[in-house]
Amino acid sequence: MRTGLPAVVLVSFLALLWGLKPVLGIRFIMHREECLSHDVKYIADKVQVSFVVIKYDSGWPDAQQGVDLVVKGPSGDQIIDFRDKISEKFEFVTREKGVHRFCFTNKSPHYETIDFDAHENHFTVFEEHAKDGNSCLFFILVDLLLFLQKSR
């Protein structure tokens, strides 16, 4: 029996939806220090991060611009450290699962408005094998295909 194009499209769409990871995106106003957290579920996941200072309240042309960002892993080890940046885009591979902290520091006496995005990728390369927790998707897709075949 043929399942047809609609079944393939449906299964592909469900697999795509299941594979999406949450994205942390936030805009916030900070004065001195703000920390954000992101819970990484698997070791060796790739986390892609970007931020931009979109507004700084400074009436003085020589005022210090930019913020500092320190990223720490669940055990408190420092992963990345940026100083005096108004924007940055970077990625890192997690060495342990758990809550990772992104702490911004504003050395200026003025408030800063920051856009921050973090995205976690469970598969870092296409040839990578599935990790624990992904095998259930395979069985869901097989059951769905069998159901679609029987319903024809």
Report the predicted TM-score, pTM, of the whole model to 2 decimal places: 0.64
pLDDT band at 129 (very low <50, low <70, confident <90, very high): very low
Cα 15–Cα 50–Cα 111 angle in degrees, nearest 5: 135
**Domain spanning 22-121 has what CATH number?**
2.60.120.680
For the residues of 117-144, what is the DSSP string, one character each?
Answer: EEEEES-SSTTPPPPTT-HHHHHHHHHH
pLDDT at site 126? 46
pLDDT tens digits for range 38-79: 899 888 888 999 999 986 655 555 556 789 999 999 999 999
Q: How far apart are CA 104 and CA 69, in angstroms?
A: 5
Residue 61, pLDDT score: 56
Choose the weakest-confidence range: 40-54, 87-101, 134-148. 134-148
Domain ranges in the chain are 1-21+131-152, 22-121
Both tokens of 108, joined, read 């200026």
Two tokens, residue 148: 């679609």
User: What is the DSSP-derived secondary structure letter of residue 127?
Assistant: T
Beta bridge partners of 115: 27, 52
